[in-house]
Amino acid sequence: MSCVVTFTREYGSGGRIVAKMLSEQLGIPFYDREIIKYTAEKSGFTEEFVREAEEKKTASLLYSLYMTSLPVSDQIFLAQSQVIQEIARQGSCVIVGNCADYILRDERNCLNVFIYAPLNERIARVRDEYKDISEDIRTYVLKQDKKRITYYNYFTQNKWGHSHNYHLSINSALGLETCVDITAKAAIAMGVKGE
């Protein structure tokens, strides 16, 4: 049996770092930016175009389905959904972002994790670890969250960060290693298979 672990995270929470550490600890593949590459290959659009489309939303996806032609952002999301489903069928892995928790919502062996942290800690991580030199880091962090919220809420019709969408919601203020340990125990209980 395999288990796919999806991570949704607040910007600056260290969620991507936790996800990468988890994949290394469990010996399973890690997917984040690779999904953009695979989506570009599947859709025929460039990687840059796919990346930019991820930051934009259009009218309701349900409305778009009734139109004769889907908006480009919706076409890209559908291609990305196919990529994520194909990755999940290959076996245990870790997938960061990309609405993977929603896309894989019908999968029995999918562990959905949300990583969050107090705003002051996220600002410090963005400044000190990510080396972001924005003049107003607080505004920048909140803007990145808003982009994620808008994208997620639009394509999933769910509420980003709402605890009912996830099996685990973990405050990374506990420490990144602690977040990895908690998630690893849950993934092992669900049947994760490493190399």
* Domains, the chain, ordered by start: 4-189 (3.40.50.300)
What pLDDT shows up at residue 194? 61
Identify the segments of the chain with pLDDT beneath 70: 1, 54-69, 193-195
| pTM of the shown model | 0.87
What pLDDT shows up at residue 57? 54
Instruction: Give start and end residues of each alpha helix (H) in the chain.
Output: 15-26, 34-43, 47-53, 61-66, 72-89, 100-103, 119-128, 137-156, 176-189
Say which amino acid occupies 61: L
Give the separation between CA 100 and CA 97, rounded to whole angstroms. 6
Residues paired with residue 115 on neighbouring β-strands, in sequence order: 9, 170
Q: Terminal CA-to-CA distance of the chain, rounded, Å?
A: 13
- Spatial CA neighbour of 161 closest among 32, 56, 8: 8
What pLDDT shows up at residue 64? 46
What pLDDT shows up at residue 11? 95
φ, ψ of residue 114 to 5 degrees: the values are -115, 125
Lookup: tokens for 159:
């509420």
Q: What is the pLDDT of residues 5-45, one digit of tens each?
A: 999 999 999 999 999 999 999 999 999 988 888 888 888 88
